[in-house]
Structure 1
């Protein structure tokens, strides 16, 4: 059983990745997680997991700094960088820092399983991974996967607007229930939770990198109602946006 640690400042990503890891059916176990780099560094040094999945942008210590520390604290740990920023410069720096792999969010289950199978074969060459899905079943799901992928890209481009799941479903010629199910399978979370996670991540970036008022941050993160924005932010992050700014 390989041990896994997850470091990402988005709680929805951590939860989603945990679900995806379980769905692979492979012999891996999540032994810990953190929402900031400093906590992750300390726990990884103690746990010495076989695999670490880490985001790049995190408070306290970013993923590339964490990658360097892991090389010293737990040199046998394979580090997989996950990021929502498809920036080749990040990939280059991650590779120079001896990252095992670089995956762009949203994480596709097939990509995740491929990485895990490679690591399992390296660590436990005698252990045979589970067989892939039957070819017929895979073909049957190809159209669904294609629709989900397209929908995810459209959501990422338009999450600041009022996106309707039913409108998206109509656009791709499927029912809202079907698209909802496909998105949940692909993302490891519901459609609304995914939109929320994108918006709150945008809010955190604005708070961290600009001097905008909280009202302006709310509006530029897709929320016309400041009080509702504050409520959602606190539900996701555990603290209010104002307190989040003070703690930076």
Structure 2
């Protein structure tokens, strides 16, 4: 999918060229236009195009200076200069800035399509020269997800250093590096989304990065920010979320604590927490809470000074008949019968 930018100060030429580009049949994700070189430079900083069509004579910033600035910014943007016959020698100066092609005014459909075919072929060759295997991206995304999910800052730092070393050593062009980092960013959020962990979607604006180091720094900061955000949502607790939930339940057995309350306490979506708890404990939240209440009730029943009616309240049952019914279902006998078996008179 190609992004294309057209810079020309004549509205009719911009519209005409845009129409010709649209008719070329290339997989185009977007075509943007600019009425002068200064606006074009701003557009490029916002979102790097694959191909740039630029006029030579424009106000505020002419085509020659635009080509020079683009070459300094990212040589992988393929530039096509549009000029009149009188500007031909002037346009040739742009070749030193990596200009791939030039078109003479008035442009025609055949010439534009021919140039676009050449640009697309060049782009294809560039993409095949340097790439990062999908399996590697998936592995990195898996490790990132695990580190963020478990709040493992050291593991995340280690992975980021491994990734930085390998990506920088691959000599990827800036725009390709940005594509890889944005893909990793999307993969992480997708995986966390499956866990129902919807972190704040800060836009990862890498297009404005001036070089590899800046693009990487922005990406690394974003990854660390995701972990910090989740850590804050969990109120700084570093325990396993299920174990943390069990401890919270244990400390509040005398209260009617809901699944939603526990999920909120540990910073998880209630629906996902319910699934995670059952997967980890092999029983539902309610089943676990009931079992722990009944186990505590047994221990209290084994202590003669506790009255059975007091025990029901101590394990979270304001309704005594409900407690006795639940206990019988769990232990196979009534609380009073359980005491008798222990040799304790009620």
TM-score w.r.t. length of structure 2: 0.35
Flag the structure with larger Rg.
2
Greater relative contact order (Cα < 8 A, sep 6+) = 1
TM-score w.r.t. length of structure 1: 0.48
